[in-house]
């Protein structure tokens, strides 16, 4: 049987090559035999090995300060409160959550570099493959065009009007391309390459662009078409979703949690992933980003976590509140989490680490630097030194409590783990497609079918009652619970016209209830200032000048 | 030998043993930058990072091998981001991968590509670490500059269009790891 390289091993190989360029103690100058296009791209394995560089560009998704961070921190899911001397970082994190976007915020520059770094690598490989007189190259070029379409889809979603660059050899500085044209480009690229992409779901296509991954991008493009270009495309979104559901090789996992365990490569539901590896393909750092410094002792981690990312309390409450999320009632953690109270035991509460924390040996975890308690519970730690992750967030700044906020536990943490996680990062999965089909049908007026699809997701979640009616409100809430921290929430809030709402009280900050109106310029991030300074042909997004 | 002489000998012996076991401080060739050095204890590394963070010299980087970030505004032709995070062996710094990139990098801003930055970083490294870097042509990585002083090896090369990669390695530890690896992977003797 022909051996085909799995992209995971290609990424591992790339990780190794970074640091082993010279790995001998006794060094002499040596010119190795040259690898050129003429003698390298001969077999499928060699093409796939080269593709690894393009896929490794996705490795920035799972860490701090990039595209995932700007999407999540600007939504109602996640916040990083300033905790005394920690996490102020010049105010850039507060700006993101409060929708005070400034072009010099380095998170925008990092996101821009992530996107255009990926686009540039795709362009370079497409250019290289096009020079070859090799019949095998066409399929790989199609795959790269689909991956480049993904980067451009994210770019048009976040920044809207971006340069459209497809020629690696071009040395001309591009101007800004309007969002409509970027949308047209992504759509046209996907339309052309979808028929060329593989349909199998196995080790040869794991972590690579398939027909189903590309269809998912197009489905999401159509789902948000009204926001992107002003014309809704619900029927087209539904058609792509139906094809993935009916013809694709995917099915919902019996357990929601199993999509995110350390060894999640066996998920029947994940359509497109980035396969991280703690040793060779690092960069998935949620374990560091969200856990308390002292949580090192809970999981016997090799490094101290950073105590940053927390869940917004209202969002967490959307799981346990029986009014919003009806289902089996039982003990859950709410508010200050001094004791358990009754609430809905949604099976997806595995998304959170909440309540009293313990060391690996079972003893109570304590914070020696605990904030002194005051009777209001707002300015001090209500249970003293023991660490209890409480859903309650006392304030965003300046004295956010160090134990405040449910922590992101969607991906299983490894006992004895490092700062890098080995779980594969889910970019697209079937559940999102089912809920997208539900929404498209709902928008087209077919509420009964939409309701059945939503209840399919609720049934799998566990312990939940089916909805008896479907409204915009409970559809958005269900998407929120299911897709928590999967980089869909900001987009969903914009599409449901809720992005401008103030989602938690901002005590002491005199925030108005509605921060901005639907259609506000804040629905796009600003073009990063360093880019504008380096290329005068670029123009800033409206509203940021 | 009387008791007094025995005590004198023991005293001398104690001094000799003590002198031999006093831990040496880092030598010049162990140095990396910002007073980080090869062999630095993990706890000392984190304590020093905390101090540099208070001085607003470094901030939280993206993560992985780039967990720490430092911005250089005026040393190079444009502002540069430096990101690093060491690998620890036996709770001491064994290797320090470092990336450099122009803040204003973009596919179309060719003047900010890594191939240009590499030469600027090399010039800077020559001033700091000595100008006897050697050049090696690597089949996939292209130009790789390297320099060895004592136990420290510095590699410097273009990682991709955006990033210049530098790697500081403790050769003594690397050699030990290599020997351990070879020892553990020796084929078993099979006379048949």
- Determine, for residues B62 and A420 on separate chains, whether the beta-carbon distance falls below 8 Å: no
Give the pLDDT score at A287. Answer: 97
Question: B63 and A534 in contact by Cβ < 8 A?
Answer: no
Is the Cβ–Cβ distance between A357 and A407 less than 8 Å? no
Q: Which residues of B touch A16 (CB under 8 A)?
A: none
Kindly calculate the radius of gyration of chain A based on its CA atoms and give it in whole angstroms: 24
Q: Distance, in angstroms, between B23 CA and closest chain A CA?
A: 25
Q: Is residue B1 one of the residues assigned to a domain?
A: no
Number of domains in chain B: 1
Q: For the whole model, what pTM was predicted?
A: 0.90
Contact state of A535 with B109 under an 8 Å Cβ cutoff: yes
Tell me: the pLDDT tens digits for B150-181?
999 999 999 999 999 999 999 999 999 999 88
Residue B2: inside a domain: no
Chain A: residue whose CA lies nearest to B105: A113
Burial category of A506 from C-beta neighbours within 10 Å (exposed 0-12, middle 13-18, buried 19 and up): middle
**Which of A113, A421, A527 is the best mutation test for B, with the most CBs of B within 10 A?**
A113
Instruction: Name the more confident of B156 and B24.
Output: B156
Work out the pLDDT band at B60, boundaries 50, 70, 90: confident
Burial of B73 (0-12, 13-18, 19+ CB in 10 A): exposed
Contact yes or no for A64 and B101 at CB 8 A: no
Cα A316 to chain center, whole Å? 18
Cβ <8 Å between A27 and B95 = no
Cβ of A65 within 8 Å of Cβ of B95? The answer is no
Contact A30 B61 (CB under 8 A): no
- Written as six digits, the tokens of A327 are 């289902």
Spatial distance between the Cα atoms of A498 and B28, rounded to a whole number of angstroms: 58
Return all residues near B75 (Cβ < 8 A) that are at least 6 apart.
B124
pLDDT surpasses 90 at A50: no
pLDDT at B191: 58
Q: Could you tell me if residue B9 is inside a domain?
A: no
Which residues from chain B sit within 8 angstroms of residue A30, using beta carbons? 136
How far is A162 from A535, CA to CA, in rounded Å? Answer: 12
Least confident of A103-107, A396-400, A487-491, A505-509: A505-509
Among the partner-chain residues B64, B136, B171, the one whose CB lies closest to the CB of A285 is B64
Q: Taking CB atoms and an 8 Å limit, are B79 and A27 in contact across chains? A: no
Predicted pLDDT at B63: 77
- Asked whether residue B81 is domain-assigned, the answer is yes
Burial of A345 (0-12, 13-18, 19+ CB in 10 A): middle
What integer best gives the mean pLDDT of chain A? 91
Residue B99 in any domain: the answer is yes
User: A288: which 2 tokens?
Assistant: 């560091």
Q: What is the pLDDT of residue A218?
A: 98
State how far residue A329 is from chain B, nearest Cα, in angstroms: 39
Question: Which of B107, B137, B138, B151 to mutate to test binding with chain A, by most A CBs within 10 Å of its CB?
Answer: B107
Whether B172 maps to a domain, the answer reads yes
Residue B11 has pLDDT above 90, yes or no: no
Peptide bond between residue A398 and the one before it cis (omega within 30 degrees of 0): yes
**Does residue B149 lie in a domain region?**
yes
pLDDT of residue A375: 62
pLDDT at A507: 53
Report, as an integer, the average pLDDT of B9-37. Answer: 65
- Read off the pLDDT band of A475 (50, 70, 90): very high
Residue where the block lists tokens 């309007």? A178
Domain encompassing residue B43: 27-184
pLDDT of residue B10: 47
ipTM of the modeled complex:
0.83
pLDDT of residue A380: 82
Residue of A nearest to B158 (CA): A18
Give, in degrees to the nearest 5, the angle at Cα A427 between A479 and A333: 45
- Residues of chain A contacting B107 with CB distance shorter than 8 Å: 116, 119-120, 123, 165, 168
pLDDT of residue B187: 67
Domain presence at residue B14: no
Distance between A305 CA and the closest CA of chain B, angstroms: 11
Mean predicted confidence (pLDDT) in A83-111:
92
What percent of chain A shows pLDDT beyond 90? Answer: 79
Q: Which DSSP helix (H) or strand (E) runs through A159? A: none
Q: Which two tokens stand for residue A267?
A: 């998920």
């Amino acid at each position: 049987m022909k051996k085909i390289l799995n992209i995971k091993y290609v990424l591992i190989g790339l990780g190794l090559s970074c640091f082993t360029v010279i790995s001998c103690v006794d060094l002499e100058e040596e010119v190795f035999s040259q690898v050129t296009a003429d003698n390298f791209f001969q077999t499928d394995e060699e093409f796939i090995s080269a593709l690894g560089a393009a896929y490794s560009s996705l490795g920035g998704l799972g860490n701090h300060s990039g595209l995932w961070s700007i999407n999540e921190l600007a939504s109602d899911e996640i916040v990083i409160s300033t905790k005394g001397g920690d996490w102020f970082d010049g105010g850039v994190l507060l700006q993101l959550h409060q929708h005070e976007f400034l072009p010099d915020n380095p998170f925008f520059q990092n996101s821009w570099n992530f996107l255009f770094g990926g686009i540039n690598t795709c362009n370079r490989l497409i250019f290289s493959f096009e020079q070859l007189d090799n019949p095998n190259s066409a399929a790989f070029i199609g795959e790269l065009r689909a991956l480049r379409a993904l980067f451009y889809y994210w770019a048009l979603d976040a920044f809207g009007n971006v340069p459209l660059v497809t020629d690696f050899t071009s040395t001309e500085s591009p101007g800004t391309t309007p969002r409509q044209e970027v949308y047209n480009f992504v759509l046209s690229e996907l339309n052309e390459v979808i028929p060329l992409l593989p349909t199998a779901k196995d080790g040869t296509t794991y972590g690579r662009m398939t027909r189903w991954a590309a269809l998912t991008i197009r489905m999401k493009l159509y789902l948000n078409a009204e926001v992107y270009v002003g014309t809704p495309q619900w029927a087209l979104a539904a058609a792509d979703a139906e094809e993935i559901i009916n013809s694709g090789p995917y099915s919902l996992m019996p357990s929601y949690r199993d999509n995110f365990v350390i060894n999640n490569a066996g998920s029947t539901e994940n359509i497109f992933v980035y396969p991280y590896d703690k040793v060779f393909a690092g960069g998935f750092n949620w374990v560091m980003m969200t856990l308390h410094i002292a949580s090192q002792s809970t999981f016997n981690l090799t490094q101290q976590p950073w105590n940053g990312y927390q869940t917004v309390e209202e969002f967490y409450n959307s799981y346990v509140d029986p009014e919003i999320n009806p289902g089996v009632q039982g003990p859950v953690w709410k508010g200050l989490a001094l004791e358990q109270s009754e609430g809905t035991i949604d099976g997806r509460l595995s998304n959170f680490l909440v309540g009293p924390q313990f060391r690996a040996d079972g003893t109570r975890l304590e914070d020696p630097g605990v904030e002194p308690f005051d009777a209001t519970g707002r300015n001090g730690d209500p249970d003293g030194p023991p660490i209890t992750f409480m859903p309650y967030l006392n304030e965003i700044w300046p004295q956010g409590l160090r134990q405040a906020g449910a922590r992101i536990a969607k991906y299983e943490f490894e006992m004895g783990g490092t700062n890098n996680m080995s779980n594969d990062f889910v970019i697209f999965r079937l559940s999102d497609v089912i809920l997208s089909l539900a929404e498209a049908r709902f928008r087209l007026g077919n509420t009964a079918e939409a309701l059945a699809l939503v209840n399919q997701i609720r049934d799998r979640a566990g312990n939940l009652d089916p909805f008896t009616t479907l409204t915009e409100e409970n559809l958005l809430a269900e998407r929120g619970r299911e897709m928590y921290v999967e980089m869909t929430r900001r987009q969903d809030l914009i599409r449901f016209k809720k992005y401008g709402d103030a989602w938690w009280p901002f005590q002491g900050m005199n925030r108005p209830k509605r921060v901005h109106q639907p259609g506000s310029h804040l629905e796009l991030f600003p073009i990063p200032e360093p880019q504008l300074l380096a290329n005068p042909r670029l123009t800033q997004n409206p509203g940021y000048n | 030998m009387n008791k007094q002489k025995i005590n004198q000998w023991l005293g001398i012996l104690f001094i000799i043993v003590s002198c031999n076991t006093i831990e040496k401080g880092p030598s010049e060739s162990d140095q990396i930058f910002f007073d980080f050095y090869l062999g630095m204890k993990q706890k000392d590394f984190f304590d020093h990072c905390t101090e540099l963070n208070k001085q607003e010299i470094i901030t939280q980087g993206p993560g992985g091998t780039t967990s720490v970030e430092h911005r250089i505004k005026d040393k190079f032709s444009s502002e540069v981001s430096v990101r690093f995070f060491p690998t620890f062996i036996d709770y001491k710094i064994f290797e320090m991968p470092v990336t450099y990139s122009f803040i204003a990098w973009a596919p179309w801003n060719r003047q900010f590509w890594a191939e240009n930055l590499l030469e600027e970083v090399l010039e800077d490294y020559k001033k700091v670490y000595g100008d006897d870097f050697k050049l090696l042509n690597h089949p996939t990585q292209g130009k790789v500059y390297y320099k060895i002083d004592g136990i420290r090896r510095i590699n410097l090369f273009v990682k991709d269009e955006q990033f210049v990669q530098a790697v500081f390695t403790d050769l003594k530890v690397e050699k030990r790891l290599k020997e351990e690896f070879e020892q553990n992977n020796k084929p078993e003797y099979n006379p048949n």
